[in-house]
Each structure stands twice: as C-alpha cells, then as structure tokens.
Amino acid sequence: RQVPTSPADLSDVVGATEIGTLLHAALNALHAAPLTETREIVARLLAAQGREGDPELARTLVLSLDSYLAGPAAATLRGALEDYSELPFLLRLGAAALRGQIDRLLCRDGAWVLVDFKYAGRAHSAGELLESYGFQLKTYALAAERLLREPLRSVQIHVLNRAEAHELDFRPEELASHAELLESLAAEWAAGGADLEAVGPRPACLSCPYHRDLSLCPVPKGRPFRAE
C-alpha cells in the first residue's frame, strides 16, 4: 500500500509496505474506538505482532497517525452519517466475481465518499497517484456504486504520513468502460486464456493489492490508465 517513488524506483518497499499496513490497521482500530489514544492503539498492534520492543517503529506510526488526524485530510472522516471501515465487497463480473476491501466508505451531507489510504516517501500529484492506482480505485468505485445503487460524490486518496488528500474524478462512462474491461478479463481467465500462475512477481507487486504483473498493470511500467 505504499506509493512507489516512481514507476521504476521501489527501494525500501518492504519496510514502507509494512508501515502502511500497520497504519491501515491502526485507523481501523480507531474507527471502532475513536476515543482511544493513538499511542495505545499502536502499542496494542505491535504487541499483537510481538513487536513491542521496536520503539522506532512505534514512534513512526504514532507521528504519522497524529499528523494525519490533525490535518485537513482527516476532516473528511468526521461527522459522517454512515461510516464503514475496511468494507469487504464482492463485485460480480459476468460468470466470475472479484473480492476486495474498501478502506473507508462514508456518507456526508447525503452523499457518499470513498477514501483509500496510502503511505508515501515523498509528495505525489493526483496525476501520479492516478497513474499508479487508477485501476484499483476504479474497481473500488465501481463496487461501491453497485453496492450503494447510487453514484459516489468523491473518490479520494489520503497519504497518511504526509496528511495529504487527493481527489480523483472518474466519469460515469469511464467506470462503465472499466466494468467492460473487468468482465472481458474475467471471461478470458475463466476460459483459460490467461495463465496467472505463470506470471512472475516483480518488486512492485509488494505494494500492489493485486500482487500480479498483468499487462494492464502500470507498476512498474508507468503506463497511464487514460489519456490526459
């Protein structure tokens, strides 16, 4: 869940991915117990993993959480009428189905907002994030809109350790085209036209929720999902 520094530069991705995963878990725990101190949440998480003897990791997590929660990006999460954390979904694609999990789906002022959390070593533009995570976020948006039976008002990426929020704009026709792509891929896989077991992993797969180097995946190729 770390944002690659560039499509080809994925140095230290394992450590960053671990931190990103722990931050996700901490936010999910805070969603269930919002009055709990971040230090206590982090201490519980690390103790559960046998990592209570790692003060530097604990400090990194607490600082990232406190910075994010004190910033304007986290304001999106407050005051929601409905708020779902780590929401699982099953997206049906013709004869197949895709399982996934949305970091945060919430309703504010009568409209729904989808938030995906990331961890990054440097600042990224919305265009860079779209290039790296457009396929993932389109899939999440499609699943959310089918679940809700209404359009989302906003799809956002929140970079936790930088307290940044980036809004992505997916047009209805773009999501419809993405659904067609997913269905064609599902049909191809179901027919045995794609041997996923033969796909070799790359370092970028460690930070990708799909963990596969498919021809449509822009990491680490850096190929955009749509023309600018």
Task: Note the pLDDT of residue 140.
Answer: 97
Assessment of whether the complete model's pTM goes beyond 0.75: yes
Stretch 14-21: mean pLDDT: 76
Amino acid identity for residue 155 in this structure: V
- The boundaries of the domain holding residue 52 are 1-228
Half-sphere exposure of 34 (CA within 13 A, CB side): 8
Closest of 139, 89, 81 to residue 106, by C-alpha: 81
Domain count, the chain: 1
Question: What is the percent of the chain with per-residue pLDDT over 70, rounded to a whole number?
Answer: 78
Closest CA to 19 of 48, 61, 47: 61
* pLDDT tens by residue, 71-129: 999 999 998 999 999 999 999 988 778 889 999 999 999 999 999 999 887 777 878 88
Predicted confidence at residue 6, as pLDDT, reads 39
d(C-alpha 20, C-alpha 58), whole Å? 13
**Which parts of the chain are beta strand (E)?**
2-3, 82-93, 96-108, 111-120, 154-159, 164-168
Reported as a single tens digit per residue, the pLDDT across 148-200 is 999 999 999 999 988 889 999 899 999 999 999 999 888 877 776 555 445 55
What count of other Cβ atoms lies within 10 Å of the Cβ of residue 101? Answer: 13
pLDDT at position 189 is 72
Asked if the model's pLDDT at residue 213 lies above 50, the reply is no
**Amino acid sitting at position 124:** H
Q: What is the mean pLDDT of residues 41-55?
A: 91
User: For residue 205, what pLDDT is reported?
Assistant: 56
Give the residue, 61 or 94, on which the prediction is more confident.
61
Q: Which residues partner with 115 through β-bridges?
A: 104, 156
pLDDT of residue 222 exceeding 60: no
**Pairwise pLDDT comparison (207 vs 143), residue with the higher score:** 143
What is the structure's pLDDT at 201?
A: 52
